[in-house]
Amino acid sequence: MSVRDRLDNDVNAAMKARDTVKVSTLRLARSEVRNTEIDKGSPLTEEEVIQVLSKEAKRRRESIDQFAAADRADLVAKESAELEILSAYLPEQLDEAAITGIAQEVILELHAASKADKGKVMSALMPKVRGKADGKLVGQVVDRLLSGSSA
């Protein structure tokens, strides 16, 4: 079953269960998928649907950080619940050790030696981890590896 079909089925199931948080989160996600299709002018592939959902999850993570900084525990809880719902539709996220291993392989392949090569490394690395790792974390790992290899 495709991710899009799961979204549709789960919206219906959540409506029957009267789970308002899940219904609103999944409806928003489904509408983002549809809007992206309209912008593109054709149906999205499975990977593109996952990219849209990843973008929505990233928005939730950023909101959680901002609300936590503003000491708004109620909104942090709401965004965390939505993030948990969206995470069920995303591939399992890589941990920092796995990202480091993949990044080291890319750095060796490209013979990257300094932070000046970060753009080259990131452009080769991101397609390998897209949807499976947060870009911010990937950037931090690459920075650490490149600064360590130039020292």
pTM for the full model? Answer: 0.77
pLDDT at 149: 52
81 within 8 A of 57, measured Cβ to Cβ: no
Each residue's pLDDT tens digit, 21-30 = 999 999 999 9
First CA to last CA across the chain, in angstroms? 49
Each residue's pLDDT tens digit, 50-89 = 989 989 998 999 999 999 999 999 999 999 999 999 999 9
Fold match flag (3-87 vs 96-150): no
Q: Does domain 3-87 have CATH number 3.40.50.300?
A: no
Taking the domains of the chain in order of start, what are their residue ranges? 3-87, 96-150
Over the Cα atoms of the chain, what is R_g? 18
Each residue's pLDDT tens digit, 79-135 = 999 999 999 998 888 889 999 999 999 999 998 888 888 999 999 999 888 878 888
Q: What's the CATH code, domain 96-150?
A: 1.10.10.410
